[in-house]
Structure 1
Amino acid sequence: MDFAFDARTEELRQKLLAFMDEHVYPAEAVAHEQRERLASPWDTPVIVEELKAEARRQGLWNLFLPDSEYGAGLTNLQYAPLAEITGRSPQLAPTALNCAAPDTGNMEVLAQFGDERQRKQWLEPLLAGEIRSAFAMTEPEVASSDATNITTLIERASDGTDEYVITGRKWYISGAMNPDCKIFIVMGKTDPGGADIRRQQSMILVPRDTPGVQVKRAMQVYGYEDHSHGGHAEVIFDHARVPVSNLIGEEGGGFAIAQARLGPGRIHHCMRLIGMAERAIELMCRRAVSRTAFGKPLAQQGVVHNWIADARVAVEQLRLLVLKTAWMMDTVGNKGAHAEIQAIKIATPRTVVDIIDKAVQLHGAGGVSQDFPLAELWASARTLKLADGPDEVHQRSLARRELKKYV
């Protein structure tokens, strides 16, 4: 395993670091001010569109997509250090580069499983950053950590029309509050009584303006509504009808598509989480050398030394594990790297939450305020202990994999 940056990665990395310093970090406060003046809190601040235009001009666009026909053609190992950099400003940088979830996963699904018409209608405007999208799987009435539990129905119309009828209730559907969100990828059951519980589900494209689709409310995450990412909505599908041609892949293929989508999504989250941890360490160090308590700088307090040292060790360990996982995904495929993907999904959010928590503690009241990004970083990192499968699900699966060696 060679984790040295190749020439292309290093070129993009230096360009992205400069882009962050010159454009993204200064835009954080501007975006906050502009958002307060918007007619709707879900509208996109002008500064975000300016960042997107500049990123595209510089060639920092669609870096996440390994398919060179649609994206930058980078491997996971090449993309890892770039995604980490964007994680230092998770509310702006991924969106600026058109590398923000859930659009990234949806574009991957359309590129891999969509037909020519679906790619033309939905993938192309997503790649261009002209529209946003949402992925509708999680439901409030069932334990959605087990995707076989979902109850949303995708049924063939009984009136003879060549349509599916979608009925169900979803929540925490990221991006759905954004008025630029034009399309949902919806996971539901086409064969709820089927013998194979992993062949009951299908995925289908549902335009947001379809009659029967109601974006009911924004769901808060630790008190935040996450305007930057277009919120996390509760969405009702009340006999919404779409053409049969909107089905992605085949009936019964939804579970497999979801697994293919979530593998890259999980490692992308972990890449960005490392950037979030680096931002927290930087803020922690700056605070430590600028504040005095009990007669000496915080930087001379022993407990602060411990926090900073432990954080540095933990980040270096996580980065190596993420890079190993990226390398394995590139060399043996997502299935071959399944155990490593589970390991980073368990370790990274847990560890980064702790690092950010120490940074909050060092900032005192400022750490929980809106004057620093730490509280919002903490909420985002803590949520990722649930998103894309809670820790306990991955622990269960990883433990079973280990035990098989001894049975």
Structure 2
Amino acid sequence: MADTKPFATPAKVPDGATGVLVLASGDVLWGRGFGAEGAAVGEVCFHTAMTGYQEIMTDPSFAGQVITFTFPHIGNTGTNADDVEANDPHALGMIVREDVTAPSSFRSNEHLTEWMKRHSRIGLSGIDTRALTRRIRQGGAPNGVIAHSATGTFDIPALLAQAQAWPGLEGMDLAKTVSCETHYGWAGGAWHLGKGYDDSRSPASANGADVATSAAAPHVVAIDYGSKRNIFRNLVAAGARVTVLPATATFDDVMAANPDGIFLSNGPGDPAATGEYAVPVIRQLLDTGKPLFGICLGHQLLGLAVGATTTKMFQGHRGANHPVKRLSDGAVEITSMNHGFAVERDSLPANVRETHVSLFDGSNAGLELTDRPAFSVQYHPEASPGPQDSFYLFERFVGMIGKSR
């Protein structure tokens, strides 16, 4: 393993320090707290996106994690009601280099500090995020506690004990904690500058044309393992109508909704743990022959359902600039990623074809079945934040449904 020598930890609390990150290794990083006061324990990871911090913080896939932003200026565009992927943040907190400045955006209606406080999330600024990111890259994503106290008073031994006692994400099922509680019908399409989201039943499609979402449109039943809203918006933009079911939905629950196609969403935690109840359902759904599309955790669960295995990654992939090679034609897509587990390529059975690979580390980034209409990708084609190279996958899925009806 590469050198992971500890950070220099001051013998006493530095002047002006109101926030701290305590790693399970015993390293203590002092900074300035913002947002809510208190402490939260989880996995400390890093994210390379330069924009979209609201979407990142509200992504349910970040449940159980503290995000280190590699871009130093986070928060200077403020916050608004549109740039969220869920009602509340799911990430435990954020670590940034520079102090959060006053908002400078015509779309802002609330300071990031106040938004974090209102949602009971802890922020920590003044951290050498390059050094912390390097530590994670070399030593893997550590467990840690992020804490904020306006008085600068912290019980470091207690925080260290909390970090060391946290079991980590491996073996942890978090999908149930972030999923919807009951089924609902999704309405709403893409976002447009000056108009916001199209909440009509005839939203604008990706190319600007109107797409009918009446009862005659292909019906996608989405299983919510921790989904982002923009996924459903893109399904609607591609011409589908969408019904969302909880992560614990049974095969009978799904079929009672009369789907034309099935979608498996992203989500947090260990896919093997969520797979205890999700995989048997997915196997039954595959047997119906209905088109199926999975993203991120949904990709991993599909892999498990066909007999592959998943493993915890050393540091994971989290960013909006990840290059992925499409094996069918050699094209490279720049993608948004957020995952700490991966499907093991060598475990794929004979009836599964690998379709995409990460150009960062060669890990699997997509698969498709050769004997059934099912495919999945490890990355996030809906972006939010991120590039739009992969929106075509939603059209591909809806097109598969049209051919099968």
TM-score between both structures, scaled by the size of structure 2: 0.24
TM-score between both structures, scaled by the size of structure 1: 0.24
Higher fraction of strand: 2
